[in-house]
Structure 1
C-alpha cells in the first residue's frame, strides 16, 4: 500500500465543521436511543410476560453480542465502502426493530427485536469516527468528540422519558410505532444532507499482502483500548439496566423518580462531556484525564452501594457519577485516536468499540444474577470495582501510545 491521507484545508469554516458534527451527533444520539429500545419497558414486560431480571438481562446480552460481532466486522466494511451507506442501513434497521417491537407477544419476539436492534447498532462507532476524523478540521476534533459523546448521552436520556410519555399517553405498542417514525425522520434528514457525510475508502492494491489489513490486531495498544471499553461499559450497563430497580429496592423510591434519576445521570453525563471537550482540547495526557475521572466515578458509585446515604442524597450522588464519567469521555476518544494507525480508522474503532458491546453483553449475565438474589448494594459495589479496573486499562493505553508505527498507513482513495 502507498500512503495518501486526506488533508483538510488549514482554515475550514466553522459552519462546515458544525454541520458535520451536528449530523454525526444526531446519528450517535439515535444509536444510543436504540440501546434503550427495550430497558425502559422492562417493568411492563415483567408484568405482561412474566419475565425475570435474568431473562431481561439476557435480552441486552443478545443485543450487544450481535452488535459486538457486527461492529468488529463493520469497521472493515466502512474502510472499504465508506461510512455513509452503512449509516443509512443502520438507521433503517433501527426503524424496523422498533416496528417489530410494537407487535411482539412474548419473550421470543423480544429476542428478535434485541437481535435486529443489535445489528443496527453495530456500524455506528466506526461510521461516526470515520466521518469525524476525515471531515472535521483537526483543531476542532476535541470539541467534535465532546459533541459526539454529549449527543450519545442525550440519546440515552431521551429514551426513558420518550417511552414513559408515549406509554402513558396511549400504550407501549404505540410508543414503538412512534419510535419507528422517529428513525425514519432521522434517515430522511441524513439523506438530504448526504453530501456532508461522504468519506474516502481505503484502497487495497493488488500487490498488498492480504494479511496487512489485519496487522493492526497485533498491536498491544489496540487490545488495551478494547479492555478499557469492556470494563467501563460493564459499569454503565448496571446503571442503565438496574439502577431504577436498585433505588426502589434499597430506598423505596417510586419507579417514576428512579427513572428520572437515570435520566439525570445521562444529562449530567452530557454536561460532563461538554466540559470534557475543553479538557481534551488542552490536555496532552488523555489517559490520565480518563483515569482520574473514572476513579472519581467509581468512588461515588461505591458510596451509593453502601446504602449509607438516604434516598434523596443517593439519587444526587448517582447523577454526579454521570458527570464524572462524562468528563473523561472526549479524552477517551482522543486516547483512541492517538492509538489508531493511519488508514485503519474504521477497523480499529470497530474492534475497540466492540469492547463496549462485549461489556454490555457480559454485565447483565453477572449482575442480573446478583439482582435476582437481592444483592442490590453488592451490584453497585461490584460495578464500582469493575470501573476501577478500567482505570488500569486506560493507563495501560497511555503507556503504549506511540507503538502504532508498527502498522504502515493504508492508501486512501
Structure 2
C-alpha cells in the first residue's frame, strides 16, 4: 500500500489506498516497525497528546539504524522547531511570539494581495501568449516565497536559489528515503546552511526593525557569552520558518485550484458565491492535505486504539486517511465546499503549524483574485503532475487554460 501511495496512480488518486488502510483498522502495523494511524479521533489524540513526542535528536541517538537517523540532512532538520520537544521547543516558540496573529496578518495582507495581483498579471500574459500556462510554476510556487521573503527581507534575486534547495532538501524528511535521495538532500543542506548563515551574519551587521533583526536581538541576549550558540539557534529557526512555508503552501494553492476546476460547476458556483472562498480552502485541506504523514513517538509504554505501543515506538499519522474517516466526515470522498468538515492538516497541540493563518490568508487572497479575473479558467492537459512522495505532497505542474 505504501508503494501504491507513492506511485503515479496513488499520487493522482490516493482515496482507494486510504480505504485499504482503513479496512485494516485505526492503527495499522508497518512492516518495518511502528504503526500507521488512520482513524480521525486517534490521529487527533496523537497530535495533541502530551504522551506523544516529536522524534528528536535524543530519540534518534537511541535508534539502531545510523544510515537513516545519523545522515547529516536528517539531523539538520531534527534541530528545527517541528522536531524539538520541551524545553527546547518552548524556548524557540517563545522567541517567535505570535508572528501570525490577527493583527500581524492584517498588517501583511496588503503585501500578499499585491503579490497576488503581480502573479495573476504574469498568468494572464502566459495565457494570452501561449493559450495555456503552468499554474504551479507561474503562480503557486511563487506566492509563498514572495510572501515569506518579503516578511523576512530575503532578496528577490535569491528566491530561485531558496526554492531549489528546498525542493532537494525535503528528501531527508521522507518516510523511507533511499541513499541517493539522502545524498541529494545532504548537498542541498550544505547549500542551505551556507545561505542562511551568511544572511544572519549580514543582518546582524545591519540590524533594523524587521522580524529577523528581532530574532537576532533575542538570541544574542539568550546566549550573551556564546555567539556560536546564538548563531545555531538563529540558523535553525530562520531556515525552518522559511522552507516550511514554501512547499506546503504552494501545494495547497495548486490543490484547491485543481479540485475546483475538476468540475466546472464548482468554479462557477464559487464565483457566484465568493463568501465561500474560505470554506473551499478548508475543504481542500481536508480532501487532499499538503502533508500526508507526520510521525510521533511514545513517551512511555501505552495503548493506542487497543494496540500496545512501547516507549520510543513510532506512529505515523496518515492525514488523508484520517480526513476520509466517515465517522468524522460523512461521504468523505465527495469534495463539498459547504461541508464545514474537520481536518488535521495543520497538526495539533504544541506543534500546531505556526504559519496556518498565513497559509489561509495566501490561499484566500489568491482564490479571490483568480475568481474575479479568470471566470472561464479550466484545466488543460491530462491533469497535475506530482512528485512521488509520502510526506510532503508536491504538485510540480498544473496546466490551465481559459
- Asked if these proteins are the same fold (TM beyond 0.5), I'd say no
Normalising by structure 2, report the TM-score.
0.32
Higher strand share: 2
Higher helix share: 1
Normalising by structure 1, report the TM-score.
0.31
